[in-house]
Amino acid sequence: MYLKSKFKLWAFFPIILLLIATALLIFTLSAFFTRHSLSLPGAILLLVFFFFIWIWSLFGELRTKVIKVEIRDKEISVSGYLGMGAKKIFTYSEIEGFETAILPSKYDTYEFLYIIKNGKKIIKISEFYHRNYGDLKFALSDKVRSLGQKNYSLFRDVKEIFI
């Protein structure tokens, strides 16, 4: 059996956000240095905001959630950054199991599936970003045991960007 993840259109949102943040950062810096139309504290506040957007988009979303997943008979492989990152391969025997979490939003709820190895989340499959999330979850449920559902925590999600 072979199953490959497919992206939803939302998977490209972090890239668009990065481009917009970069353009605004360039505009802000040019306004500060050429016309001094922005105060130093205002410029620093905007820089902190832009760097947060960059870190969150690049390392939080693109690296860990907008991932290409390939499920095979004996292993699962994952590569971040829309599949352009380095490929990591895990055998099912080294995986403890998977947990799910529900992320409520204003218009819908989305499920995340976290594959656990040595007590850490090594793969995060998102219903928000993956069009065939249900197929991926079903294929994994035959190969890896379910560890149940956990509560979603935004604080934990942000913390895991840096771990």
Asked, for residue 1, whether it belongs to a domain, the answer is: no
What are the distances in angstroms from CA 1 to CA 70, 71, 73, 122, 124?
Answer: 10, 8, 6, 22, 21
pTM: 0.86
Residue 123 is assigned to a structural domain of this protein: yes
Q: Using CA atoms, how far apart are residues 8 and 71, in angstroms rounded to an integer?
A: 18
Would 42 be classed as within a structural domain? yes
Clarify whether residues 136 and 84 are in a common domain: yes
The answer to whether residues 55 and 75 belong to one domain is no
- pLDDT tens sequence across 73-89: 999 999 999 999 999 99
Could you tell me the sign of the dihedral formed by the alpha carbons of 150, 154, 155, 161, in that order? positive
- Residue 22 CA to residue 116 CA, distance in Å, equals 34
Q: Is residue 3 part of a domain?
A: no
Question: Does residue 4 fall inside a structural domain?
Answer: no
Same domain, 153 and 73: yes
Both 103 and 153 in one domain: the answer is yes
142 and 78 co-located in one domain: yes
Q: Are residues 32 and 110 in the same domain?
A: no
Q: Which domain holds residue 23?
A: 9-61
**pLDDT tens digits, residue range 9-23?**
999 999 999 999 899
Residues 76 and 128 in one domain: yes
Structure tokens that stand for 24 in this block = 């605004």
pLDDT at 100: 96
- Angstrom distance (rounded) from CA 67 to CA 114: 12
* Residue 2 lies inside a defined structural domain of this protein: no
Q: Read off the pLDDT of residues 106-152 as tens digits, 9 standing for 90 and up.
A: 888 999 999 999 999 999 999 999 999 999 999 999 999 999 999 88
Number of domains in the chain: 2
SS3 state at 63 = coil
Report the CATH number that the domain containing residue 96 is assigned in CATH: 2.30.29
Q: What angle do CA 117, 162, 6 make, to 5 degrees?
A: 60
Listed in order, strand segments (DSSP E) in 51-141 are 68-71, 75-79, 87-91, 97-104, 109-117, 120-126
